[in-house]
Structure 1
Amino acid sequence: MQDRGDKPERRSRKGRRPRRRICFFCVDKIETVDYKEVGKLRKYITERGKILPRRVSGCCAKHQRQLTNAIKRARHVALLPFTVNE
């Protein structure tokens, strides 16, 4: 058996977990996410054009699915870009 004295001990991460974000659509009591509301949809897209994941956007599962479909529809109708031109 080898001596494990040469490895430093792992420290547990101390600190609080970040507070869970509340779904914007649930707070405003919005039933469905509309693909024509481009201003709201832009908040959930990165500057590269990717859709933000649920853990980052803070949406509930139901509204995240609707949001994803709305963003994809808006892209097909050319309201939102698929990618960013450089």
Structure 2
Amino acid sequence: MTFRNGGRLMRGRGGRRKVCEFSRLGILPDYKDPERLRRFLGPTGKILPRRRTGLTAKMQRRLTIAIKRARHMALLPFVERSVTDRRR
């Protein structure tokens, strides 16, 4: 989306705001559902921030607790193998 501002073309941030997946589905993050939790992890296994996940602050806190519980129960890995490690 571009528009004029004093003779210069400005590019807007555009895009739609993400909707909290858990609130939309009416569920809570659960450590027993590792497939759903895995979508909120980056390629190295780090928990993605709110600005990337689109979750509310409350759901992000609950998600973090659920991921940490799943990691301690060995349902999720603490770290993912990097691209260079996969070749070996």
Where structure 2 has 5 or more consecutive residues not aligned to the other structure, the ranges are 1-7
Does 2:36 align with 1:40? yes
| Corresponding residue for residue 65 of structure 1 | 61
More strand by share: 2
Root-mean-square deviation (CA, aligned residues, Å) is 1.6
| Corresponding residue for residue 49 of structure 1 | 45
Runs of 4 or more, structure 1, over 3 Å off, are none
The number of equivalent residue pairs is 75
Identical-residue share of aligned pairs (%): 52
Please list the CA deviations of residues 18-64 of structure 1 after superposition, one character each: whole Å capped at 9, or x if unmatched.
3210000011111x211010110010001100000000001111111
| Corresponding residue for residue 25 of structure 2 | 28
TM-score (norm 2): 0.77
> Whose RCO is larger (CA < 8 A, sep 6+)?
1
Where structure 1 has 5 or more consecutive residues not aligned to the other structure, the ranges are 1-10
